[in-house]
Amino acid sequence: MSLFAGPVRPLTRELNVTNNEEKINDRITDPHDPGRMTGAAAAVAAEELAKIYPGDIHAVKGISFAVEAGEAFGLLGPNGAGKTTTIGMLNTTVKPSSGRALLAGRDVTRDPIGARSVSSVVFQDAVVDRPLTGRQNLELHLKLWGVDTSVGRRRLAELTGTVGISDILDRPVATYSGGQRRRTEIVRALLSGPEVLFLDEPTVGLDTRSRHDLFDVIGTLRERTGVTIIITTHYLDEAERLCDRLAIIQSGTIVACDSPARLLASIGPEVLELRTDDAAKAAAVLRANGVEPDDVVVIGQTLTASLRAINGARALELLEDGNVPARSATARHPNLDDVYLRLTGGPILSPADRPE
């Protein structure tokens, strides 16, 4: 047998493909929201999608989700979580090791050209040609996609106007700021009129102001075009602002998937944040008063606790009565960082990743 022969594929395997297709349609209706959609009707449907890179690197470990047409869906997780690999499998640039994915009903493995024809991607690394002007880049893209001239001209004018780059279109891209280049990239991706737009960390490397501006622009584009958005980010504020639903990914696995509001509600009404030299004692006091062990996370000298059984004022009182040494103590509303911390036991951003 040749060294390069793939695994033996008996006929039953071919038959299973058909069964799987039925399965994806059935299964995806059930777990999340019964009756809302089928796999085929969803803009994006993934079932047990997995990627093992050479060297036995399990980058994505069988994830499933369905995204409705027009929805903005976020993949949230730290570096190395498997976000880019997931986007790659959905946009046909990374071959899944197992599992299935459909884009507007087109199977990414069996009909990659069909899947590509209904989607577009803005990669983490820039693809626009720097010596060319913005207009040249965009017109080239219209030609590559064979977009009808008058349709293309109209789209180009509308999209560049919406993102605010009309007046710099005739300058070489090399002279653009980071934010302007990102806008050009996003316009490029939308010129073909895709049903699904993938954005992989669109604001990474931008300063805080440009990051916020770009986020507004993405929100506006979404309203105007109705495009379905799959976005990866490790910025929680972005995820909360743009996304209807979020999948929190850790080490290739979805650990939670819901709307930002419901994820926040899962934390309870208040969070206690305590800086202390004796986190163990603080944790013991809280646990003795009904705070669940899973709701307490200690990193270094900072203890964070989701409060359900007792409120913030009572928790502070108990710590004082228990003589827990506190450098600072506050009770506040929960944020997505708390959700992430509780689910994964770690912060989403390493200090190096934090925006200025």
Ligand X SMILES: Nc1ncnc2c1ncn2[C@@H]1O[C@H](COP(=O)(O)OP(=O)(O)O)[C@@H](O)[C@H]1O
Of 25, 29, 64, 85, the one binding ligand X by CB under 6 A: 85
Please choose, out of 31-39, 75-83, 214-222, 242-250, the segment that lies near Mg ion by the rule CB under 5 A.
Answer: 75-83
User: For residue 80, how far is the Cα from the chain centroid?
Assistant: 13
Q: Binding residues for ligand X, how many (CB under 6 A)? A: 11
Write out the binding residues for ligand X, residues 204-243 only, by CB under 6 A: none
Answer for which of 80, 205, 290, 345 binds ligand X (CB under 6 A) is: 80
Helices 312-321 and 279-288, axial angle in degrees (round to 10): 120
CA 103 to chain centre: 16
Q: How far is CA 120 from the centre of its chain?
A: 16
User: Binds 177, which of ligand X, Mg ion, none (CB < 5 to 8 A, cut-off by type)?
Assistant: none
Smallest separation, CB 126 to ligand X (Å): 17
By rule CB under 5 A, what count of residues binds Mg ion? 2
DSSP result, 11-57? HHHHHHHHHHHHHHHHHHHSSSSTTS--TTTSSEEEEEEEEEETTTE
- The CB-of-296 to Mg ion minimum distance in angstroms stands at 31
Contact with ligand X (CB under 6 A): which of 45, 59, 191, 231?
59
Q: Segment 80-99, which members bind Mg ion (CB under 5 A)?
A: 83-84
> How near is the Cβ of 227 to ligand X at its closest, in Å?
22
* Buried residues in 187-219 as b, exposed as e (16+ CB within 10 A): bbbbbbebbbbbbbbbbbebeeebbbbbbebbe
Q: Which of 84, 95, 119, 99 is nearest to 234 (CA)?
A: 84
Per DSSP, 9 falls in state -
Residue closest to Mg ion, measured at CB: 84
Task: Tell me if 53 contacts ligand X by CB under 6 A.
Answer: yes
Assigned token pair, 174: 């090399």
Report the nearest approach of ligand X to the CB of residue 256 (Å).
16
Name the residue nearer to ligand X (CB basis): 81 or 341.
Answer: 81
Give dist(CA 92, CA 105) in Å, integer.
Answer: 14
User: Which of ligand X, Mg ion, none does residue 77 bind (CB under 5 to 8 Å by kind)?
Assistant: ligand X
53 binds, among Mg ion, ligand X, none (CB under 5 to 8 A by kind): ligand X
| C-beta closer to ligand X: residue 200 or 213 | 200
Residue 231 Cβ vs ligand X, minimum distance, rounded to whole Å: 12
Please choose which of Mg ion, ligand X, none residue 288 contacts, taking the beta carbon within 5 to 8 angstroms, the exact cut-off set by kind. none
Q: Which residues pair with 100 in a beta bridge?
A: 47
C-alpha distances in Å from residue 56, one per residue of 49, 61, 222: 16, 12, 38
Among 14, 13, 75, 17, CA closest to 44: 75
Binding site for Mg ion (CB under 5 A): 83-84
Residues that bind ligand X (CB under 6 A): 53, 57, 59, 77, 79-85
